[in-house]
Chains A and B, each alone.
Chain A
């Protein structure tokens, strides 16, 4: 199972919006509405930000939103804040035997 494709880096200024894409195939992203996004600060464990494409866990600001079109999912962060600077990973259910596939990660820099 190949990793999902994410841009290596994105950047934006405080208050702006950025979108991180996550491209897979019809066997993962395109085949299920089970894409999740994780934020990871250096040296820390990942934190769930969005699940099932567009749902937010309690406690996650509504500045974080998810969507999907075909084989590509997206995470949009609006009203960028300094604390949003982190690595972001997408993850998709891939059908068989509880398999999950992750993206390579995107480093978000808040300028």
Chain B
């Protein structure tokens, strides 16, 4: 059974940093592209960042470019999101999502982890 379990969320002050993790199991993690998607409270879904299966290519939404860093450790089946210079507008539930074999959709999602940015 495919499982994605996020962790690392919590309360952080504006300008602070946080590192999210997503532990994957039930599939060959190193074979799949992975994304982070977020959802602000009461709002819709927003693409945040993507990483290729071997970690060699990374992509970011304009809203987080230069502040967030996506990475992965295929030996530990874990996806990461380093978030620096956090702003109030970054407050959201962050989901890790697996990109399906076709490369065009998300076939599995984690349960999400909440980031609260407040002083």
Interface residues on B, range: 20 to 34
CB–CB B45/A46 < 8 A: yes
Q: Taking beta carbons and an 8 Å cutoff, which residues of A are in contact with B? A: 1, 3, 32, 34, 36, 38, 44-48, 51-52, 57, 89, 91, 93, 97-105
CB–CB A93/B104 < 8 A: yes
| Contact residues in A for B109 (Cβ distance below 8 Å) | 45-47
Known A-B contacts A36-B106, A38-B45, A104-B44; A99 and B95 likewise in contact (beta carbons under 8 Å): no
CB–CB B105/A48 < 8 A: yes
Give Cα distance in the complex from A41 to B17, angstroms.
30
Known A-B contacts A45-B110, A45-B111, A45-B112; A102 and B45 likewise in contact (beta carbons under 8 Å): yes
Is B59 interfacial (CB 8 A cutoff)?
yes
CB–CB B33/A98 < 8 A: yes
